[in-house]
Amino acid sequence: MKKNVEYLYKKPESLTDETTIYCAGCGHGIIHRIMAEVIDELGIREKTIGIAPVGCAVLAYDYFNFDVTEAAHGRPPAVATGIKRSLPDRIVFTYQGDGDLAAIGTAEIIHAAARGENITVIFVNNGTYGMTKGQMAPTTLPGQRTTTTTKGRNTAVHGFPIRVCELLSTIDGTVYLERTKIDSVPDVIKTKRAIKKAFTYQMENKGFSLVEVLSNCPTNWKMPPSQSFEWIRTKMAEFFPPGVYKDAGAGK
């Protein structure tokens, strides 16, 4: 006689069974799982299209069980704009790192926001160029050591980090901006809630949304995963405070 089984865990349908190439302890896997859960819960898997650029997530099409295309480095907002305007019934998102979005793609993200494109942007901020062995990124913290700032980022020489949510909050075309982190279970839950709101706003045709996620890169930070989560809490979150930077969706 079979007993009734209650499942407490189930792999989201929006994730494939492919083994990822991400380093041990990397935050991308957590964020992928969150996004897949949200897409399943909203019932939009068959109409979702993702855009992955150059960076650690360049092979995202292997891990997501829906349509994903690639874009040239920094150009996902432009590709997303073309897809969304051609297929307005689809749910379109970009998945971008700090080098892609805040360096080579700065103009793209600013003007997509200024146009109020009805897309969702997931911005993964780990303060380093993870794919290319840990060089300084636009979001590298002052004093932080990288392979190109071996004595620490010197703001007098290298400039200051870019705070993306604060920057985009001044643009009228943005509807929803939130910065979250993934260093604890409560923060993972907050991140999921933010990503779900961003997708929901797109489904309701409210306009441009971006969720910035403070993530970890244990390999290039040269520390174990547990210590990298502590770095997010004590260092990154101090310079990049989590919170809602704009939410104009409720009034639309």
Confidence at residue 8, expressed as pLDDT on a 0 to 100 scale: 76
pLDDT at residue 2, as a whole number: 60
Beta-sheet pairing, 120-125 with 208-214: parallel
In the block, tokens 């930070």 appear at 221
The 3 state secondary structure assigned to 19-41 is CCCCCCCCCHHHHHHHHHHHHHH
Supply the pLDDT for residue 142. Answer: 95
- The structure tokens listed for 109 are 């993200």
Please tell me the predicted confidence (pLDDT) of residue 1.
Answer: 53
Q: In the CATH scheme, what is the homologous superfamily, with its name and number, of domain 28-251?
A: Thiamin diphosphate (ThDP)-binding fold, Pyr/PP domains (3.40.50.970)
CA distance 203 to 119: 9
What the block records as the tokens of 34 is 């969150």
Separation in Å, CA 234 to CA 191, 230, 241, 244, 245? 18, 6, 11, 19, 21
Q: What is the pTM of this model?
A: 0.94
- Which helix (DSSP H) or strand (DSSP E) does residue 93 occupy? strand 91-97
Domain ranges of the chain: 28-251
Per-residue pLDDT of the chain (252 residues; tens, 9 = 90+): 567 777 777 899 999 999 999 999 999 999 999 999 999 999 999 999 999 998 888 889 999 999 999 999 999 999 999 999 999 999 999 999 998 999 999 999 999 999 999 999 999 999 999 788 878 999 999 999 999 999 999 999 999 999 999 999 999 999 999 999 999 999 999 999 999 999 999 999 999 999 999 999 999 999 999 999 999 999 999 999 999 999 998 877
